[in-house]
Amino acid sequence: DQQVKQNSPSLSVQEGRISILNCDYTNSMFDYFLWYKKYPAEGPTFLISISSIKDKNEDGRFTVFLNKSAKHLSLHIVPSQPGDSAVYFCAASALPGSARQLTFGSGTQLTVLP
Interface pick for other proteins out of 1, 42, 53, 83 (rule CB under 8 A):
42
43 binds other proteins (CB under 8 A): yes
Interface pick for other proteins out of 13, 21, 34, 77 (rule CB under 8 A):
34
Interface pick for other proteins out of 11, 20, 94, 102 (rule CB under 8 A):
102
Question: Residue 67 or residue 101: which is nearer to other proteins going by CB?
Answer: 101
Residue 90: exposed, middle, or buried by beta-carbon count in 10 A (0-12, 13-18, 19+)? Answer: buried
CB 34 within 8 A of CB 49: yes
Sheet holding 62-67, edge to edge: 4-5, 19-25, 72-77, 62-67, 56-59
1 binds other proteins (CB under 8 A): no
Please count the residues of this chain forming the interface with other proteins, following the rule CB under 8 A. Answer: 26
* Closest C-alpha among 112, 113, 114, 110 to residue 38: 110
Rg (CA), the chain: 14
Please report, as ranges, the residues that interact with other proteins according to CB under 8 A.
4, 6, 9, 32, 34, 36, 41-46, 49, 89, 91, 93, 98-107
